[in-house]
Structure 1
Amino acid sequence: MPATPKRRKGTVPFGSYETWYQVTGDLSSGRPALVAVHGGPGSTHDYLRNLSELAEHTGPVVLYDQLGNGGSTHLPDKGPDFWTPDLFADELANLLEKLGIADNYVLFGQSWGGLLVTKFAAERPAGLRGLVIANAPASYPLWLQEAARLRAELPPGVNETLLRHEAAGTTDTEEYHAAMRPFYEKHVCRLKPWPRDYLASFYEVYNDPTVYYAMNGPSEFHVVGTLKDWSVVDHCPKVAVPTLIISGRHDEATPATVQPFHDLIPDNRWEIFEESSHLPHLEEPELFQKVMREFLEGVSVSL
């Protein structure tokens, strides 16, 4: 049996702040490092932990917490103007440089992370070998359009309760949080009970919701933050590396929100996980690992 890949954790400086990271495997192996960019914005790496299992087969895996959450510097006093996609793109570039992998890596972006890595890849950085866009919309206007449709299909009375609280500005109440649950159970994570890694990230967001509230809003489907009009559709044709697109059949990132990636990125393949919603890596882990290994091995062979 192959040796279990070594794991190390640490932080790198990002200006006057710190970015927390974890590396599984050997960054000097010559194989592209898979760098996982988590969702939110304002979530943490925790729910993506099982991506580290790929290190045994396809090369090193890097997880990190984006600024404002998890093990990275928390900045609860920063206002919405501080939290921008450019900030997080700069943080990603800094991490790649500080870890010494800017010349050989693959990006995996999940949910909000999928938009961020698309923006990043559109700049055509020299060391980027491949791109995975997982469970991400190409634009937030599309996301909101589809969220309205999915909300209307919830059990009777649920959307009415959500709308009432959103109109009144009482989205921090127990009743609103309870009414969120049917949407999350249908379109975010269909596993019962919810996996520990997912819950860890879920609780991290609510322990410090600074980033999530500023950029997104009070819930997955009520985006009223600074991202509400943001789109990466115009960036898609500029992506110049092999791209794997992932979504779930029951995903809140519906086919309509994902379609621009498939239509506009020149070299892509779209894999839909039939038994999954927003987290196929947790909902169908064996198939997910197989799909990812095939993609990463193909990227390595093409180098």
Structure 2
Amino acid sequence: MAAQSISEGEVAFDAPGAGKPCKTWYKIIGSLDSEAIPLIALHGGPGGGHEYLTPLVDLYEKHGIPIIFYDQIGCARSTHLQEKKGDDSFWTFDLFVKELDNLVDHLKLREKGFYVLGQSWGGMLGSTYAFRQPRGLKKLILVSSPASIPLYMENCKILLAGLPRDIRDTLEECDRLGDHESERFQEAAFVFNKKHVCRIDPMPEPVVAAFQHLKEDPTSYVTMQGPSEFIIEGTAFKGWEGFKQGHKIQAPTLLINGGHDEVGDVCFEPWFWTIPNVRWVTLQGASHMSHWEERDRFIQLCGTFLKGFK
């Protein structure tokens, strides 16, 4: 087991159109001075923060892979921009790609190289980053990340139909009324989350922290996605079909989703058919948080892929 060393820092980020200085907060588990290639973890949301990805620390402890966590702009310890709520021209994929590139350059990873793991929205970001074939990207892991938002919405319809009738009625009524902020809607949506987002009861504290980040500052989430996991209204997400550019991903890629995942096979499989060098594993006992629900198997899959698969 590798001895754990932790360092934290901030990097200035010139966010286009922000109108103020911005910064990205990051944390490194392990040393970037070692010969080991580090993994950059891209959290979901948008706006979920890095904490819920903490099981990735096991990749350092068991496989010696340094881990770079960071809070994306708009959440947690990085710069917040609540004044940009509803600004579709600001909250774009390009904004987050630029932020990731800025972090890579700040940490001087181009020559050594780096891995990227993106979970949920983080995988949408990671795939978009990989489409551009950035110098230094060695391998890519996409975890529970939709290949197509239209297909994701189709899958959500199937999952919602499997909820108890009273829950469905509440969600449908609230949606019809545009009532997505009430306690009634939130409680009904939580039933969906417990089945298809995280099946551990009670939810691990770091997962709760992600929901708390979204509650405290929903700016990027609401603007890019919409009011909930299954209502997509944001310009950035609506109509997005990343798999159509999957052929541009040159890095070897591992796909992982869960058998009960809100990102089910319907909207995940297109990655498998379009990314040239790819393998795909579904963890049947898991939902959207397979890194928690099937932690040992998840870490074993990622570690083997990063250390061995060419």
Q: Shorter-normalised TM-score: what interval?
A: over 0.9
1:205 and 1:154 map into 2 onto residues whose CA distance is 24
1:197 positional shift: 0.6
Give the 3-state SS of the residue equivalent to 1:179 in structure 2.
helix
Does 2:77 align with 1:71? yes
CA distance in 1 between counterparts of 2:25 and 2:285 reads 33
Determine the C-alpha separation between the residues in 2 that align with 1:108 and 1:119: 12
The residue correspondences of 1:51-70 to structure 2 (distance < 5 A) are 51-56=56-61, 57-70=63-76
1:4 is displaced (CA, Å) by 1.4
Is 1:258 equivalent to 2:268 in the alignment?
Answer: yes
Equivalent residue for 2:91, pick from 79, 83, 94: 83
The answer to whether the 8 Å contact 1:240/1:266 transfers is yes
Q: Secondary structure at the match of 2:269?
A: helix
- Structure 2 distance, partners of 1:152, 1:107, is 34
Partners in 2 of 1:102 and 1:217 — Cα distance?
A: 35
Q: Aligned-residue CA RMSD in angstroms?
A: 1.1
For residues 169-224 of structure 1, the C-alpha deviation after alignment (integer angstroms, 9 at most, x for no partner) is 11100110111121111100000000011001110110011111111111111111
Find the aligned partners of 1:217 and 1:80 in 2 and give their Cα distance.
12
2:32 touches 2:66 (CA, 8 Å); kept in 1?
yes
How many residues are matched? 299
Q: Does 1:116 align with 2:115?
A: no
Q: CA contact under 8 A between 1:109 and 1:134: conserved in structure 2?
A: yes
One-letter code aligned to 1:278: H
- Output one character per residue of 1:229-271: Cα deviation in whole Å (capped at 9) or x when no partner: 1121222011111100000000000001111100110111101
Deviates more, 1:129-138 or 1:161-170: 161-170
Are 1:271 and 2:270 matched, yes or no? no
Superposition pairs of residues 105-144 of structure 1, within 5 angstroms: 105-144=114-153
Whether 1:21 aligns to 2:26 is yes
1:102: how far off?
2.6
The gaps in structure 2 that reach 5 residues or longer are: 15-20
**Pairing partner for 1:41 from 43, 46, 49:** 46
Q: TM-score, normalised on structure 1?
A: 0.96
Q: Is the CA contact (8 Å cut-off) linking 2:2 and 2:64 kept in structure 1?
A: no
- Residue matched to 2:255: 245
Tell me the SS of whatever aligns to 2:101: helix
Structure 1 residue 171 and structure 2 residue 176: aligned? no
- Which shifted more, 68-77 or 123-132? 123-132
Structure 1 runs, 4 residues or longer, greater than 2 Å off? none
SS at match of 2:129: helix
SS in 2 for 1:109: strand
SS in structure 2 opposite 1:247? strand
Tell me the percent identity.
Answer: 39
Whether the aligned pair in 2 keeps the contact of 1:18 and 1:72 (CA below 8 Å) is yes
2-structure distance, mates of 1:102, 1:115: 22
Offset of residue 3 of structure 1 = 4.7
Amino acid at match of 1:33: P
Paired AA for residue 95 in structure 2: L
SS in 1 for 2:8: strand
